[in-house]
Chains A and B, each alone.
Chain A
Amino acid sequence: MTTTQTTATPATQKLGIATTLALIFLLFSGLIFSAEDVVQGSTVRIMYVHVPSIWVAYLAFALTAICSAVYLSNRSRSLIWDRFAGAAAEIGVLFVAVSLVTGSLWGRLTWGTFWVWDARLTSTAFLFITYVGYLAVRRLGGTFRQRARRSAVMALLAVLEIPLVHFSVNLWRTLHQKASIADPNAKVKLDGFMLFTLFWGLISFTMLFVWLLIHRQRLMALEDAVQDQGLDLAIQQRRTEAGR
């Protein structure tokens, strides 16, 4: 096989270019154009990465759950749902990690410590570990259908597990600042351009997510095809050996 296969199509190429431009604009907007915070100074700029990454992670895990549910409920059991679920979880794990790292750096600057055992941080760490476990389940081996079934069940269990962990950790302790934009009584007010930059971050990170997701899903399809082909080749070889 010498054919060169790519996971890009004209549509994803355009999406990739748009994403890159959006991220470049976010870079300028976040680092240069937007104002410093009155209290936090320049450290507030971490927010433009921190908040969009956790948003993407939530989006990704929600998609994993939906695709897994569709896989299990759909009579045809199309593997494309499984691949989308897996691709979304991989990207989600990556972005939770980004969010945890940027969050602890931000915490170091504003709270004076990398980590506090507060409810939201602890449940986010659990979210990370749970989906690392999910990715490990995907690598258990077996047939594609076995992988799809196991990981779909695991994804749905994770959906159940996360609220329980969150609830119990919440009872355990709470210190993290409440969501400050959604709360009308919050003391923290973002000025217009900071808010714009934050939303721009959300949009461009979402574009990045979609772009990565499509490519990863196609790559997984190719990986599966290679694995199938490897099996066919091996059977072919054994047959020719037997024929000799």
Chain B
Amino acid sequence: MTSRMQTARRVSVAVARKDLRIEWNSKVLLNQVAPFSLVIMIMFAFALDNEGILQRVAPGLLWLATLFSMLVIVQRSFAVETADGALDALRVAGTEPVGIFIGKSLALMVQLFALELMLLAIALVLYTVEPTAMGYAETFATMAVATIGLGFVGTLYGGLGAGARGRETLLPLLLLPAVAPVLIGATRATEAAFGSGGAQSSEGWPWIGLLAVFAGVFGAVGALAFGPMIEE
């Protein structure tokens, strides 16, 4: 049992390194996803043409932009796996599915976190958000915990039906309802951190707790369900 866990850990590190190296070489996150999320943030400003409103709703917009960009990253993450039957090869090789799940989740989390940092910078500049030092701490805590949950749930739904035709168009329908709790929790926590609408910074921590529950549940279930899901 311990050896299985060790194998799973080695596999997960290898898969995460592989995904991140692919990303590093192709620069899809930097060249496509990051500009895309910048466009979203600018479009929000066009749609809500009022600085007061933008400042008030900045936390929600930040997380919406994260979720939309995440759809693109998740699709990319599994397009890489299915393009040359790489996932089939991993499966046939008897690789621990838990390891694949954790590895792909980790790579997704790293990319998401980088993206969120960029979106935060954009929000600071474009939406004139001014958090306090405590607010920054709370924002980073929210981002860390939310990203863990998003990484797990994104990998789980991304793997569902990987390789099937028409999966790309289906992913938003499956994934967005599933991440609704993250949108609610992360937005409330970030509102508290930014002090939007007069929210107190202490109001944010219970929401971070909700995000932690989400991350824990989907991490555990993903580890269990990913194996049966990709074995087809």
Contacts and interface: CB of A to CB of B under 8 A. Distances in A.
Interface of A: 72, 126, 129-130, 132-133, 136-137, 140-142, 145-146, 149-150, 153-154, 156-157, 160-161, 164-165, 167-169, 171-172
A156 B225 contact: yes
Say what secondary structure dominates the interface of chain B. Answer: helix
Interface stretch (B16-24, B103-111, B172-180): B172-180
B60 to A, nearest CB: 12
Interface residues of B, number: 29
A150 B225 CA distance: 11
A129 B167 contact: no
Given A146-B232, A164-B181, A165-B181, A154 B174 contact: yes
Contacts of B221: 157, 160
Contact of B181 (A137, A140, A146, A167): A167
B198 interface: no
Nearest to B159: A153
Interface of B: 156-157, 160-161, 164-167, 170, 173-174, 177-178, 180-181, 184-185, 188, 210, 213-214, 217-218, 221, 225, 228-229, 231-232
Contacts of B161: 137, 140, 150
Say what secondary structure dominates the interface of chain A. Answer: helix
Contact of B173 (A132, A142, A145, A161): A132
Contacts of A132: 173
Contacts of B165: 140-141
Given A160-B217, A167-B181, 15 more contacts: A132-B173, A133-B173, A136-B173, A137-B161, A140-B170, A142-B232, A146-B164, A150-B161, A154-B174, A165-B181, A168-B180, A168-B181, A168-B184, A168-B185, A171-B184
Given A137-B174, A154-B174, A160-B221, A142 B164 contact: yes
Contacts of B231: 149
B175 to A, nearest CB: 9
Nearest to B185: A168
B225 A137 contact: no
Contacts of A140: 161, 164-167, 170
Given A133-B170, A168-B184, A153 B177 contact: no
A91 to B, nearest CB: 20
Contacts of A168: 180-181, 184-185, 210
A153 B229 contact: yes
A141 to B, nearest CB: 6
B222 to A, nearest CB: 9
